[in-house]
Amino acid sequence: MNKKKTLFVAALMIGAATFLGKAQAALNLSLDDCIRIALNENPTVKIDSMELVRVDYSKREAWGQLLPEVSFAGQYSRTLMKQTMYMDTGQGVAAIKMGRDNTYTAALSASIPIYVPQVWKSIKLSDTQILQNLETARASKLSLVNQVKNAYYALLLAEDSRKVLLANYETSKVNAEVFTKKHEIGVASEYDMLRANVAVTNLEPSIIDAENSINKLKLQLKLLMAMDANVDFSTSESLEGFKTAMYGRAMTMDTSLVNNTSVKQLDLQTDLLRQTLDVQKASWLPTIAATANLGYSSMTNGNPLTNFQWSGSSSVGLSVSIPLFQGGKRYYKQKQAEIAVREMKWQRENLTRSLNVQVQNELDNITKSLKQVDANTKGVQQAEKAHDIMQESFKIGSGTFLQLRDTEDALMSARLSYYQSIYNYLVAESDLEFVLGNAPIYKYTSTK
């Protein structure tokens, strides 16, 4: 029975391992899948979410300053040596011991803020800090989307390049085998045989480099998606699949900087400085608070646990604090805040100018890439036609092997350039989207 159980458990483990292996091998990810996983699993995004919660608690802390403060205090003291008071009498000096052995006090006090302008301004400051953290979180997500896109496009380029190299490699292997056999029967020269074999050998390092690039780019994507390095995945798209929608997107691009996260963060920072200035100005104003106190005390002799004689007292009042002079500290703080607000105006102007230049550069890259795609598309068609012609010529003996290899290399180069131009367009488009802040983050974020 134990042996049967052992075999049964072993079979289950093997089945589970096989199932997990198939599940891992079946992990096929599109670009949207990668972005969605990254936005929901990347630690940077999670940290930003936690920071939003922290700032919300900070705002609640500021609101707490407007609520009453209530405190209780209790005290017990035992007199070891009573104070002696001396009084002159007609018959001499009389010594009188003051106080009792045990003293108990219990007090309840409350303070209610009525007019606290600095606190009110601080609450508004907290609201702006929450908005600033929200924008910081959006900036992190935009940056993450841009990184995932660029890494995914680079992976597709590496995979398509490997396909082109492998196709050329297989053709070269066939040629090498043919010329080796021809040389063995004396139909082809040794030079042609060696030339064919060298063509195969020359392609092997490029294929190895492509394989290494694919592995490195997969690891980079896994890091962005917070995915375990041992988990394997494959891409469900190709560069060719992105080509059809390129021209339509290029015609409808919005180049406004309204959603640019750097501009938004700078504007929020300016609002924060203005509100900080308001807080500084509010420090000149008085504060008013209502107070209430309730206390009980008892003084006894002898046993501290008996003979209690409690007496109570209570009071209410109004306290006013008027700041008069603090050595010029408030004045100079206010001046610093005013200068900081004026500085932000020039920073925004410089930032906007720099971003406009960056947008124009990306638009130029997009235009150039589209032209390159068109030119390379024609180049691939011409290279394929030239290769087909030379292949037929070589079959009937009117073309040399060297000419055939030239057309094969030209075709490989044209295809690699074609995929490179599509990649260049996609990266330029992704970088422009990041600058403009137009990535549809809401589309990928989990609603859980």
pLDDT tens digits, residue range 359-397? Answer: 999 889 988 998 999 999 999 999 999 988 888 887 777
**Coil vs helix vs strand at 243:** helix
pLDDT band at 2 (very low <50, low <70, confident <90, very high): very low
Q: What is the pLDDT of residue 19?
A: 41
Rounded to whole angstroms, the Cα distance separating 176 from 192 reads: 9
pLDDT computed for residue 251 by the predictor: 66
Rounded to whole angstroms, the Cα distance separating 4 from 243 reads: 58
Q: Which two tokens stand for residue 205?
A: 């390092």
Q: How confident is the model at residue 446 (pLDDT cuts 50, 70, 90)?
A: low
**Helical pair 401-436 and 117-184, crossing angle rounded to 10 deg:** 170
Range with lowest mean pLDDT among 109-123, 343-357, 377-391 = 109-123
Range list of H helices, 300-400: 329-395
The token pair that represents 50 in the structure block: 């936690």
Distance set, CA 412 to CA 382, 419, 442 (Å): 12, 11, 41
Q: Where are the beta strands (DSSP E) in 30-183?
A: 69-78, 83-89, 92-98, 102-115
pLDDT for the residue numbered 425: 92
**Mean pLDDT calculated for residue range 100-111:** 90
Is residue 23 pLDDT above 80, yes or no? no
Whole-prediction pTM = 0.76
Q: Counting beta carbons within 10 angstroms of the beta carbon of residue 210, is it exposed (0 to 12), middle (13 to 18) or buried (19 or more)?
A: buried
pLDDT at residue 385 in the model:
92
SS3 of residue 235 by DSSP:
strand
Using CA atoms, how far residue 377 sits from 96, 242, 384, 413, in Å, is 115, 14, 11, 12
Q: Tell me which residue of 365, 98, 39, 50 sits closest to 226, measured CA to CA.
A: 39
Whether the CB-CB separation of 222 and 228 falls below 8 Å is answered with yes
Mind listing the pLDDT tens digit for each residue in 69-101? 899 999 999 888 888 888 877 777 777 878 788
Residue 314's CB is within 10 A of a number of other CB atoms, namely 11
Give yes or no for residue 113 having a pLDDT over 50.
yes
Model confidence at 112: pLDDT above 60: yes
Angle at 211 between CA 207 and CA 215, to 5 degrees: 170
Q: Give Cα separations from 249 to 135, 254, 370, 372, 425 (angstroms).
A: 26, 10, 11, 17, 11
**Does the pLDDT of residue 21 top 80, yes or no?**
no
Measure Cα distances from 370 to 150, 250, 358, 413 in Å: 18, 9, 18, 18
Output the pLDDT for position 274. Answer: 85
- Quote the tokens at residue 360: 């124009």
Running DSSP on this structure, what letter comes out for residue 379?
A: H
Instruction: Determine the residue type at 246.
Output: M
Structure-token pair, residue 427: 């990266």
- The pLDDT tens digits of the residues spanning 233-271 come to 888 888 888 887 777 776 677 788 888 899 998 998 888
Predicted confidence at residue 109, as pLDDT, reads 92
**The one-letter amino acid at 317:** G
H/E element holding 70? strand 69-78
Pairing of strands 287-300, 102-115: antiparallel
* The pLDDT of residue 20: 42
Q: What are phi and psi of 309, to 5 degrees?
A: -135, 90
pLDDT at 11: 40
Supply 63's token pair.
């609101």
Burial class of 275 by CB neighbour count within 10 A (0 to 12, 13 to 18, 19+):
buried
Q: Are 35 and 148 in contact (CB under 8 A)?
A: yes
Give me the pLDDT at residue 292, please. Answer: 92
The string of pLDDT tens digits covering residues 26-85 is: 588 999 999 998 888 888 888 887 877 887 777 777 777 778 889 999 999 988 888 888
- Average pLDDT on 89-116 reads 84
CB 186 within 8 A of CB 255: no
Cα–Cα distance measured from residue 407 to residue 385, given in angstroms and rounded to the nearest whole number: 10
What integer best gives the mean pLDDT of the chain? 83
Q: How far is CA 379 from CA 316, 374, 386, 390, 404, in A?
A: 92, 9, 10, 16, 17
